[in-house]
Structures are given as structure tokens and as C-alpha cells.
Amino acid sequence: MGGGWDQIRFPRVDDENAYALEVTGDSMAPLYRDGDILIVSPNAAPRKGDRVVLRTTDGEVMAKVLARRTTKTIELASLNPDHPNLVFPMERIDWIARIIWTSQ
């Protein structure tokens, strides 16, 4: 969500539905910092250990590491020890997309 669109160049990405998000906050520091650009692919199936962006049905968007996924829950890990791991029931997940490239 944002106030406008901008274009940036990034390496070849085969997913025509890939898009960019700008990081705000510090929950993925020191790996991703405020202002970094993430390219995410909604078509790339996330696997355990992948870095992902997730949106809840409440509208909260977060970048985390996919720690575990079952038919009923998704567990996300933060690389920043100041932020706890999170577990969401699947019905609270609006979408999840794998991070495929980062501009830092």
C-alpha cells in the first residue's frame, strides 16, 4: 500500500507478477533495513527457510523468515532478536510472497 508507483531496475525475473516493496521498520535488521527495496514473487511457492513478505487479514504486512508451514498455521521467524517469532492460523493470512531480490 502506498501513495504512488515508481519503477526500479532489477535482475531478470521470470514472474510477470513480481513487484517491489520498500522496507519500513527494523524487524529484519540487520539483514533488511529501513528503505531497502524487496522484490517479491507471489507465484514462487515459499519453502521453509525462505525470506517472505506476508499480509494478514488485518492489513499488517511483515518481512520474516518462513520457519514452518502446516495446513493450519504459518510460523515466522525474525532475524532481529528484539522481535519475537510469530504463529498465525491460515485463516488470518491474506497473502504470502517469497522475496526473490533485494536492493540495499
pLDDT for the residue numbered 8 = 57
Instruction: Assign domain 19-103 to its CATH architecture.
Output: Ribbon (2.10)
Print pLDDT tens along the chain (104 aa): 455 666 655 566 777 888 888 888 877 788 888 899 898 999 999 999 999 999 999 999 888 999 999 999 999 998 788 889 999 999 999 999 999 988 86
Residues in CB range of 27: below 8 A, 6 or more apart: 62, 63, 64, 78, 80, 83
Q: Tell how far CA 43 is from the center of its chain.
A: 13
- Map out the domains of the chain as residue ranges: 19-103
